[in-house]
Structure formats: structure tokens, C-alpha cells
Structure 1
């Protein structure tokens, strides 16, 4: 069993007021999941955290039942089950990112759907498993309104995310590494990866070094401190002053679990 260290912090809503985190972290016997529920602008919809919690629970149940199953197949069936159980409809439902890491006897598998990356470290160097389709659309100014997001969600000219379309799972970014080559893996929600991708506070090697030396919460604190210096988003435009944060370090050089409630 690798050593697993976890840090989470709630952000604020679109109105700037505190509210419960919509990120969910699940640790299983041979896997870790990080899901980031997307904040909806439609008050008639359940929140993204509601959806992420249900999808995380279904994924966990399915992976406990079949620890070696294909990750895309597991995600496909989990989305289908949550959709059916709750009567969800495409383009009119809450959604969530999915980041998964699963270790077996001979390999470590990673899956990423939407913008919660997985980063592997080992004999192969640093391998960032990321889905940049959302980021590309934002840079091109194609997600200006809620209608834009709905139109391009789970569409071939848009981005793919866990929602009410089980086929979205087939568009996840996948990676497998030889287990003997893997030293550590990070899973992050975008409230953490923004510190690398937009704020340039550190690179992923530095994130790993900080998480190992001071714990993953030190990384979250550095991102939050930078945001407090830019409260109105003038330097780093963003929809919320502080997003939810989740960071998990899976360290294959030792054993144990830290940071679990």
C-alpha cells in the first residue's frame, strides 16, 4: 500500500460567500478518486457537489466489486447508473470532473475526464495526464455564458465531463505506467492545478517536493495566499475568488495514509 496524503479546502460560491466544498476524495484499497463538482448557474439544478458525491459513491462501489476492471468501462456504467437513478437529462444536469489512479500488481493506471489532472513521477520523468479541452475553449472565448457551456458540454466541438451522457467516459485521457517505474502520483482539482497552469507559482516537481516535505495542505495554502493578493482577479481573471481545493499525494516509496478524516 502506498502512502496517501490528502488535503482539502472549501472555496467560495459565485456570490463570494463560503459554502461546502464540491470536491470529493475517495480512497479505496487499490485506487484513489478525486471528483470536482461543477458549480451550476441554474438554481433549479442540484449542485455539482450533489452529483460528484453520488458518482464518487457509485464508482467506489463498482471498483470495490471489480478492482481490476477497465476504468473507462467502470466510469461509463457509473455515469449511466447515476443518470438513471436520478432522472438526469443531458445539458440540464449537474456535472463533475473525474480523476482516478488505480494500482495493480504490474502497473498503475490513470484516468482524467475534464480539468482535474493526474501527474505521475518516476523513471519516465514527469507525466502530466491532463484534459485541456476546457482550457482551450476558455482561451478562445467560447465559454462566455452558461448557454455556451451547456452547448459545448459533451459535444465533439466542445469538452467532455461526467454528467448525463455515459459515452463521455470514452473521451477520458488515459495513461498506464509500469508499477516498478512509478515513484509518486498527484491528483488535483483545478483549484490546485491553477497554481501551476495559470499562476505559475511552482511546477509539478515543486508541488511534489512541497507535498512530501510539508504535506499537501502547504500547496493549497500557497495557492490561497496568491489569490488573497489578487482578490478582484485583476492579475489572474477567474470566476471565483477561491475555488474548492483537493490534492492527493500517492507515494509509492513508503506506506500508510495521512489526512483522512
Structure 2
């Protein structure tokens, strides 16, 4: 198994709420989330939630190769729930959540699962790059984030608008007409995007948190084929370095409005045999 992985927190001394890991036939990436500045109701925190769920999910999809990925995710969410439902308020509006990407190589196929706005990048043997992401959160966000994008990133006014925006998002979480993400309810797994691709058609698969895809989907300075070429030639660390370089040149978000000047960024690149 040939896997290269890099993960960087949003800033020095900041806790990284992303999680990524690989096993001989599987890989996962999770991007933990909460409501900015709000209590989570969980004594463990967002990074604990994403890493615990990610570790359990990787173990489950590896140990049960015949069980569907969505069912494995539901089992893993339930297992995490059982670990802290006696100590934490899982009904709290800002309870930790996480996007989920999962892939598993079986006999002849690569199975995949996508939940939330992280991106899976599939590379065909002919060089074509196909990005798979869950657009539901982005679609909801576009309807709500106008007041946030009109203000300089990091300003007090921006922070207040961002808090209101994320509070509104929370009201649409895991319900019809909103978006779906891993949290306390195992039923969210039923709404994941799933599929399978013949292994013989693939050269690689890359898992990317939204902090690592900003060159394409936020800054529009790169394309998915160019991102794939960069990952193949220089690896995830170089991709994240370039993201940080562009972010530093627009720290207040005047050219590229965004919720955070920097975000946790994680990229896992798996070259398939």
C-alpha cells in the first residue's frame, strides 16, 4: 500500500480537528466541526470526536469487508455515541460533528463513501481526475453566508456574522432540505453518497479536507487535474504549503471571503497498484 499523508492545523498551537488514517485495504478522512466559539456540550471536544470516529470506522470497514460502508459508518457513530452519552449532552445544538470520507479496496472494486463537504479525488489510469463531494452543505451555505463574505475575515463584525451564520447552519443540520453530517445520530449515515469504481480503471485516490481544497473551490487558482498532478509529483505537504501561501497573502479575506483565514488542512494520496 503506497499512501502519503500530511495534516496541518489552522495555526501554531491550534488543535487539529481533522483526522486521516489508512489500513492495508482502506483509508478514511474526517473533518471535525462545531459552532465557532460555542460550547459543544461534550467534555472531550471536536478533535476527540473526529479521531475516535475515524479510528473506529477504519477498523470496522477493514474487519468487515462485506458490510456496506454506510452501515459501517452507522455502527461507528453508534459506538462513539455509547462512549460519551453518559458524560456529554449529545442533544446540544453545537455537539461535535464531522465530515466523512471512506474508501475500501475489495476484489475488483474501490468502494467509497462521502458525507459532508470534504472531497474525494479519483484518478483514472488515462489521467482523468474526477472529484466527488457532497454539495448539500455548500448549497445551504450559499443561501446564508452573504453577510459573512461582505466583512473582513478576523474582524469583530465578521466574527459576529460568522457566529450567526453557523448558528443558522446548525438549525439545518441532519434534516431534509438541509445537509447531512456525522454527529450523534447514526441515521445520518443513510444519507451518505456511496458508490464503487473498478480498481483496474484507477491509478490513485486522494482524500482532501476542505482546508486542503481551497486552491480549487475557494480561490479558483487551480483545477482538479492540476491538483492531482501536484499530489502525484510533490505530495500532500506541497499542496498544503501552497494553500497556506495564498491564504497569507489575503489574510483578511478581501479577495477571497471565507470563514477562517486558515483552516485545518489534510490530504491523503493513495497510489493504487
TM-score (norm. length: structure 2): 0.85
Residues 158-211 of structure 1: per-residue CA shift (max 9 Å, x gap)? 110000111111111112100111111110000011221111121111111111
Q: Which structure 2 residues correspond to residues 45-56 of structure 1 after superposition, within 5 A?
A: 45-46=41-42, 47-56=45-54
Count of aligned positions: 248
Instruction: Pick closer, same or farther for the CA change 1:126–1:212 going to 2, 3 Å.
Output: closer
Structure 2 unaligned blocks of 5 or more = 146-161
RMSD: 1.8
- Provide the rounded CA distance (Å) in 1 between the counterparts of 2:34 and 2:263: 10
- Provide the rounded CA distance (Å) in 2 between the counterparts of 1:121 and 1:139: 29
- Provide the rounded CA distance (Å) in 2 between the counterparts of 1:100 and 1:75: 9
Look up the SS of the partner of 1:233 in the other structure: coil
- Provide the rounded CA distance (Å) in 2 between the counterparts of 1:90 and 1:169: 20
Counterpart in the other structure of 1:104? 106
- Provide the rounded CA distance (Å) in 2 between the counterparts of 1:122 and 1:101: 16
Counterpart in the other structure of 1:43? 39
Look up the SS of the partner of 1:8 in the other structure: strand
1:114/1:161 contact within 8 Å kept: yes
Shift of 1:134: 1.1
Look up the SS of the partner of 1:108 in the other structure: strand
Shift of 1:141: 1.4
Counterpart in the other structure of 1:231? 251
- Structure 1 residue 5 and structure 2 residue 4: aligned? yes
- Provide the rounded CA distance (Å) in 2 between the counterparts of 1:243 and 1:146: 15
- Provide the rounded CA distance (Å) in 1 between the counterparts of 2:237 and 2:66: 31
Shift of 1:57: 2.0
Shift of 1:52: 0.3
- Provide the rounded CA distance (Å) in 2 between the counterparts of 1:247 and 1:136: 23
Match of 1:86 among 84, 106, 111: 84
- Provide the rounded CA distance (Å) in 2 between the counterparts of 1:196 and 1:78: 31
Counterpart in the other structure of 1:129? 132
- Provide the rounded CA distance (Å) in 1 between the counterparts of 2:59 and 2:6: 23
Counterpart in the other structure of 1:256? none
- Structure 1 residue 172 and structure 2 residue 207: aligned? no
- Provide the rounded CA distance (Å) in 2 between the counterparts of 1:131 and 1:23: 17
Shift of 1:92: 4.5
